[in-house]
Structure 1
C-alpha cells in the first residue's frame, strides 16, 4: 500500500495504528504543569471530578483516569499506558492541575528513585 506522499506503510504500526511521537501527545511539553515532580513510587487516584469546560482530556488522559479508579503507583500507570515516563508525568500534571487526580507523595530519601531505576536496569541487563 503506497500513500500519495510516497511514504507508504513506513509510519504505520500494524498492531498499534499510526505512530505518533510522544511530544505530539503532550503538545511539545516536557515538564509537568507546575513543575510537580512525580516519583515512580508515588500513588495517584482519580477524584471523580468532571473536567472543567476549558480542558478536553485526550485518550491518554482518559486511559490514565480509568487506571486510577483505585490508588495506583505511578510506575504501574506508566507500564499500563505504555508511554515514556516523561510523557506520563506531563499528562499526570494536566490531570492534577485540573483536580481530576490526587497524588500521594511517598517520603523517600534523595536519590531513591535513581537507585531503583539502576537496580531495574542492572537486573534487565543480567538477563
Structure 2
C-alpha cells in the first residue's frame, strides 16, 4: 500500500493514493469545532487522566504519530496540515482524536500573548508605523 509520500509527481495518484476517508475511518467532519487555522497545538509530554493515572493511548495511525512528533513544539493547525501534506479538514479530524485522548492540547493563539503579560501596544504601534513607511 502506498501513501501520499510515495506518490510519483507525474502520476495523477488515482490508483496509489490513500484516500482521506481511509485515514479518518470514514469520518468527513471533525467532532470538535474548536480548531481554526491558527489554533496552537502542543503534544502532552506525559498525559494523565483526571485522577493522575497515566493515559495509555489507543491505537494510533502513522498520521497521529507524525502529528504528535510535529507538535513537540507548538504549531498551528495550518502548519501541521502542510507538514503532513494532508487537507486541513482531514487534519482537524485527526487532531480531534488526539485531543480527545488527552495526547494533544489546543489553545487559541491569543492566550499565549496574555500569558506573556499581553502585547506591548507601543511596540505594535511602532511596527505598524514602520510597515506603513515601507
Tell me, yes or no, if structure 1 residue 82 matches structure 2 residue 80.
no
* Structure (1 or 2) with the larger CA radius of gyration: 2
TM-score by length of 1: 0.65
CA distance in 2, matches of 1:88, 1:104: 16
Show CA shifts across 1:19-63 (max 9, x none).
110010001112223x3331001100000246635x111000001
Alignment RMSD, CA only? 2.4
Alignment counterpart, residue 7 of structure 2, candidates 6, 13, 17: 13
Checking the alignment, whether the CA contact within 8 Å between 1:45 and 1:102 is kept in structure 2 is yes
Runs of 5+ consecutive residues of structure 2 not aligned to the other structure: 1-5, 48-54, 111-134
3-state SS, counterpart of residue 30 of structure 1: coil
Alignment counterpart, residue 66 of structure 1, candidates 57, 65, 69: 69
- After TM superposition, where is structure 1 displaced by more than 4 Å over at least 4 residues in a row? none
3-state SS, counterpart of residue 32 of structure 1: coil
My pick for the range that moved more, 61-70 or 35-44, is 35-44
TM-score by length of 2: 0.62
